[in-house]
Amino acid sequence: MKDGLLKAMSSDGTIRAVIATTTELVELARRKHNLSFTATAALGRALTAGALLAPILAREGQVALKFQGNGPLGKVVVDASPRGTVRGYVENPQVELPLNSLGNFDVGGAIGHQGYLHVTIDHGFGMPQMSTVELASGEVGEDVNRYLVTSDQTGSLVVVGTHLSKNGVEAAGGLIVQLLPDHTEETICKIENNISTFGTFTFLMRRGMDLENILSRILNGFDVTPLTEVKPVSFYCKCTKERFVEALKVLSREDLMDMVEVEGRAEGRCQFCNELYLVEKEGLLDIARGK
């Protein structure tokens, strides 16, 4: 199944949903950053959360998530746009932890149960909007849910998952369901019961179901209508060698000449995609000369 995102709403106007499959983009992130199993599960959930939040929070611009807990994984950072582009990294990509008591990857232990989720919404104009909430558990989905409940003062359900094998990412995706003003008290219970009855999001993906079928299973009992066609989502980074060169031009001539003499070249690695950029000696000399 190709990665994609779908927005939907119930006919009675009580719930709004965004659902996405992100297997390919999470696998690409795993390979780019050489992630451990635990780090892949954590970043995979965060990348999926970013893909889901971006079309909810920003019509244009970017949405940035930074999970900063007290676990060994360090910072988990994601940058996503409503155009379906997502990128991200973890501070310590090789951290590996034993499975938790439920037999799942210990994402909560890796990120940490104490700390903060920082959310920045840049609409592309004016000052960015920044919010901070305490981590609920470090499990990503629960933390994003806490942010939505705190910021919107409305109920929501966030499900994000990453299924891994020794060969890599087999399934990744999730959904956000937001409760609108006319919902009933039973709404969330019914959705949670559907998930326990039909299986987890990644389980349904591995059964070969497409987004529409997964949506109908998880929201069984609700008359839900897609608002859009399935839109593509992908791992995409804005970094380029040209941007690296422009950053070097900010340095003084003395600093550039010092690089020439000591290293013989300049190296820059993008945190978000791990791409390495090199400017050799002659290139540095041209920059120092103002060419």
Average pLDDT score over the chain: 92
Helices (H), the chain: 23-33, 37-57, 107-111, 141-152, 186-198, 201-206, 211-218, 241-248, 253-262, 281-288
Could you give the C-alpha distances from 83 to 55, 75, 227, 231, in angstroms and in order? 8, 25, 16, 9
Closest C-alpha to 219, from 248, 198, 244: 198
Joined tokens for residue 159: 């499900």
Highest mean pLDDT: which of 100-109, 179-188, 214-223? 100-109
Instruction: Kindly give, in sequence order, each residue whose CB lies less than 8 Å from that of residue 88, ignoring residues fewer than 6 positions away.
Output: 29, 43, 46, 47, 50, 76, 77, 78, 79, 272
pLDDT exceeds 90 at position 235: yes
What pLDDT is recorded for position 243?
93
Judged by average pLDDT, the poorest of 148-157, 214-223, 258-267 is 148-157
DSSP, collapsed to helix, strand or coil, labels residue 175 as strand
| Mean pLDDT to the nearest integer, 6-35 | 94
Confidence of residue 291 (pLDDT cuts 50, 70, 90): low
Rg (CA), the chain: 21
Amino acid letter at 4? Answer: G
What pLDDT is recorded for position 155?
81
pLDDT exceeds 60 at position 58: yes
d(CA 21, CA 122): 24
Give the chain's domains with CATH numbers. Answer: 4-235 (3.55.30.10), 241-288 (3.90.1280.10)
Query: Taking the mean position of all CA atoms in its chain, how far away is CA 280?
Result: 34
What pLDDT is recorded for position 273?
95
Q: Are strands 4-10 and 224-226 parallel, antiparallel or unpaired?
A: antiparallel
Q: What percent of the chain has pLDDT over 70?
A: 99
d(CA 284, CA 289): 9
215 contacts 17 by C-beta, under 8 angstroms: yes
| Mean pLDDT to the nearest integer, 113-121 | 96
227 vs 39, higher pLDDT: 39
pLDDT digits (tens, 9 = 90+) for 24-34: 999 999 999 99
What pLDDT is recorded for position 14?
83
11 contacts 224 by C-beta, under 8 angstroms: yes
What pLDDT is recorded for position 11?
84
What pLDDT is recorded for position 75?
97
pLDDT exceeds 60 at position 140: yes
pLDDT exceeds 60 at position 262: yes
